[in-house]
Amino acid sequence: MKIQLALDRLSIDEAIKIAGQAEQYIDIIEVGTSLIKEFGVISISRLKEAFPDKLILADMKTIDNALYEFNLCFEAGADIATVMGVSPLQTIETCLEASAKHQKKTMIDLLNTTAEQKAALFPYTEAIFCDHVSKDVQEKSGLKNTASAAFDPTLEWAIAGGITGESIQNMAGPLPDIVIIGSAITKSTQPEKAAEALREIIERKKAKSNEPA
Ligand SMILES: O=C(CO)[C@H](O)[C@H](O)COP(=O)(O)O
Q: pLDDT tens-digit profile of 18-31?
A: 999 999 999 999 99
Ligand 1 atom closest to Cα of residue 30: 6
Residue 212: what pLDDT?
A: 62
Residues 176-206 have pLDDT tens digits of 999 999 999 999 999 999 999 999 999 999 8
Per-residue DSSP letter, 161: S
Report CA torsion sign: 75, 81, 85, 89.
Answer: positive
Residue 72: what pLDDT?
A: 98
Residues 126-164 have pLDDT tens digits of 999 999 988 898 888 888 777 776 678 899 999 999 999
Q: Where are the alpha helices (DSSP H) in 32-188?
A: 33-39, 42-50, 66-75, 89-102, 115-121, 135-141, 165-169, 183-186
Q: Which residues contact 65 (CB under 8 A, 6 or more apart)?
A: none
Residue 143: what pLDDT?
A: 81
Does ligand 1 lie within 6 Å of residue 55's CB atom? no
Q: Pick the more confident residue, 144 or 73.
A: 73
Q: Pick the more confident residue, 198 or 210.
A: 198
Quick check: 5 pLDDT over 90? yes
Residues 104-122 have pLDDT tens digits of 999 999 999 999 999 999 9
Helix (H) or strand (E) run with residue 16 in it: helix 12-22
Residue 166: what pLDDT?
A: 94
Residue 28: what pLDDT?
A: 98
| Phi then psi dihedrals of residue 85, to 5 deg | -65, -20
Cα 84 to Cα 80: distance, rounded to the nearest angstrom: 13
Does ligand 1 lie within 6 Å of residue 34's CB atom? no
- Pocket probe mutation, ligand 1, options 112, 135, 145, 187, max atoms within 8 Å of Cβ: 135
Quick check: 210 pLDDT over 90? no
Closest CA to 33 of 9, 63, 49, 64: 9
Residue 48: what pLDDT?
A: 98
Residue 67 carries which side chain, given as an amino acid letter?
L
Q: Which residues contact 206 (CB under 8 A, 6 or more apart)?
A: 1, 175
Rounded to two decimals, the ipTM of the complex is 0.96
Cα 135 to Cα 26: distance, rounded to the nearest angstrom: 22
- Domains of the chain in start order, with CATH, are 2-210 (3.20.20.70)
Percent of the chain beyond pLDDT 90? Answer: 84
Quick check: 93 pLDDT over 60? yes
Residue 213: what pLDDT?
A: 55
| Residue 132 Cα to ligand 1 middle (Å) | 8
CA 83 to each of CA 91, 98, 129: distance values in angstroms, whole numbers, following the listed order: 8, 12, 10
Ligand 1 atom closest to Cα of residue 162: 14
